[in-house]
Amino acid sequence: MQAFLHQLLSGLADGSLYASIALALVMIFKATHQVNFAQGEMAMFSTFIAYTLAGAGLPYWVAFAITLAFSFVFGVVVQRVIVQRLGRLPHASELTAVVVFIGLLVLFNGTAGLVWGYTNKEFPSPFDSRAWYGSTYLSPHEVGMIVVTLIVLAIVFVFFRFTRLGLAMRAAAENPQSSRLVGIRVGWMLALGWGLAALLGSIAGMMAAPKLFLDPNLMGGVILYGFAAALLGGIDNPWGAPIGGFIVGVLVNLSGAYVVGSHLKQTLALGVIVAVLVFKPSGLFGRTVVVRV
């Protein structure tokens, strides 16, 4: 029973990573119907920035805050410089977008390897490993992961629900043409969305790195679980994504421990992806899309 509880709770901790990544993916998908294959690599890149800052002697939370600011600008720049141009290309197709996102993935992965090398690096955790909130079920870092994620989710909720800017961003994603008519600068709203998504991803990266060790392939597996989470929650539903993240975390951890073995965890995530796409493409909480011919 104790082992089961341990698996269940650390599943929730892993799920918090997938929740942030999935929410980042959904924010971008909802606005422009693009799947950002480079989301994980952007998060990894931000985590390396935090690593460098912390290595330079900055206190953890200062490095954390600067990294968030960097990630936000990073996301905005990527959107303004590359992604935004995609829509204006005369030959733009789904393939163009997918290839460009894979190109970004390779670019960020390769640049991180070039700058920081491919060896594993220890990444500090802000949560003392002997802190009072640790237990046999969850290490203090895992408790911290869950708490940080929940706080961030709450802030994101408040931002989109109760601020004018959040409302404008939702409007731009929902109906760009009408938004433009009421004076919302849709292009910039999309860029802000990318910035916010990159920021969410960087939190996942910084929370994942102490557990998984930091190297350019840090997020290679996490992004797969993030996809599974986003699809399970409904890829166009921002509330579904975090729930999907926690479900995937628990599901993968429990079946990794008791059913399929730890070697097949990623394969299981792929199974979730395929099952959702084939049997219920709208996910648990998504909207069923009807296309007029």
Partner 1 sequence: MTTMSATADLASAPTRRISSGARWLAALGAVALVAPFVFSDYHVFQATQIVVYAIAVLGFNLLTGFSGQISLGNGSFYALGAYTSVVLMTHVGVPYWAAPPIVGALCFGVGFLFGRSATRLEGIYLALATFGLAIVTPQILKLDALERWTGGNQGVVISKPVSPIPGLNDDQWLYFFCLIVAVVLFAAAWNVMRGRSGRALIALRDHPIAAGTMGINVPVYKARVFGVSAMYTGIAGALGGLIAGFIAPGSFEIFLSIQLLIGGVVGGVASIFGSLFGALFIEIVPDLAKHASEISPSLEWLAVVQYPIYGALLIVTMMLMPGGMAGLVASARIRIARATATPPRI
Strand partners, 234: none
Residue 104 touching partner 1 (CB under 8 A): yes
List the x/- string, 71-100, binding to partner 1 by CB under 8 A.
-----------x--xx--x-x--xxxxxxx
Residues 164 and 41: beta-carbon distance below 8 Å: no
Report, in Å, the least distance between residue 237 CB and partner 1.
Answer: 16
Asked if 30 interacts with partner 1 (CB under 8 A), we say: no
What is d(CA 142, CA 131) in angstroms, rounded to the nearest whole number? 12
Q: Is 105 in the site for partner 1 (CB under 8 A)?
A: yes
In sequence order, the 6+-apart residues with CB closer than 8 A to the CB of 275 are none
Which listed range, 5-13, 33-41, 54-62, 122-130, lies at the site for partner 1 (CB under 8 A)?
Answer: 33-41
Name the residue nearer to partner 1 (CB basis): 182 or 289.
Answer: 289
CA angle at residue 135 from 228 to 157, to 5 degrees? 45
259 binds partner 1 (CB under 8 A): no
Please work out the total of residues on this chain that contact partner 1, with binding judged by CB under 8 A. Answer: 45
DSSP state of 121: B
Q: For residue 50, give the amino acid letter.
A: A
| Contact status: 273 vs partner 1 (CB under 8 A) | yes
Pick one of 264, 282, 284, 285: the residue that binds partner 1 (CB under 8 A): 264
Q: Which stretch binds partner 1 (CB under 8 A): 205-213, 238-246, 249-257, 271-279?
A: 271-279
Integer Cα distance of 63 and 277 in angstroms = 39
Q: Which is nearer to partner 1, 5 or 277 (CB)?
A: 277
Quick check: 147 binds partner 1 (CB under 8 A)?
no
Q: Is 165 in the site for partner 1 (CB under 8 A)?
A: no
Q: How many CB atoms lie within 10 A of CB 280?
A: 14
Q: Comparing C-alpha atoms, which of 206, 212, 220 is closest to residue 269?
A: 220
Instruction: Report d(CA 136, CA 155) in Å as an integer.
Output: 30
Comparing C-alpha atoms, which of 230, 284, 212 is closest to residue 27? 230
Q: How many CB atoms are located within 10 Å of the residue 161 CB?
A: 10
Q: How far is the CB of 18 from partner 1 (least distance, A)?
A: 14
**Site residues (CB under 8 A) for partner 1?**
33-35, 37, 82, 85-86, 89, 91, 94-100, 102-111, 113-114, 220-221, 224, 227, 231, 263-264, 266-267, 269-270, 273-274, 277-278, 281, 293
